Amino acid sequence: MADSLILEIADFEHDVLTGIYSEETGKPQPLRFTISVELAPIDRFDPDTALSASKNYMDLKFAASEALPADVHFRLIEAVADHVCETLFLQDARVTAVTVKIVKLAISENGEKIGMTLRRERR
C-alpha cells in the first residue's frame, strides 16, 4: 500500500455569494469549509525537513477565501467547491486529490449540518 499525505483545514467559515432562492441572492451567506488535500509524500520527514517538502496549510484557507471571486454569485455550493478544487490543483502540481465539504450555516434550524462534499482527483 502506498503512503499518502493528507493536509486539512477544518471548520473554516467564510461568507460567499451563493444560493438560488430570492432571499439568498444578493447577499453573502456564511459557509463552513473543511478541505483536505492529498499529496504524494516524500520518503521521510525528518525534524529539519523544509516546508517545500509539504504544502503550506494556509493555501487551503486561501482557496476558500481570497481565491473565491467576491463579485461572483455561485448558484450552487457545488460550484463553490469546484472552484476551491481547481484553485488547489492550479497552485501545486503535487496535489493528487482534493475533498471539499461545505455546510450552509444560514439554513440550519436546529444545529443540523446541511451541505455537501465534493472529492476530485487530478485529471
Q: What is the pTM (predicted TM-score) of this model?
A: 0.92
CATH number of 5-42+53-121: 3.30.1130.10
Residues 6+ apart with CB under 8 A from 94: 39, 40, 55
Domain range summary for the chain, segments of one domain joined by +: 5-42+53-121
Instruction: Supply the mean pLDDT for the chain.
Output: 93
For 86, phi and psi rounded to 5 degrees?
-65, -40
pLDDT tens-place string over residues 32-87: 999 999 998 878 889 999 988 889 999 999 999 999 999 999 999 999 999 999 99
- What string of H, E and C letters represents the secondary structure of the chain? CCCCEEEEEEEEEEEEEECCCCCCCCCEEEEEEEEEEEECCCCCCCCCCCHHHCCCCHHHHHHCCCCCCCCCCECCHHHHHHHHHHHHHHHCCCEEEEEEEEEEHHHCCCCCCCEEEEEEECC
Give the pLDDT score at 31. 97
Can you tell me which residue has the cell 501545486? 92
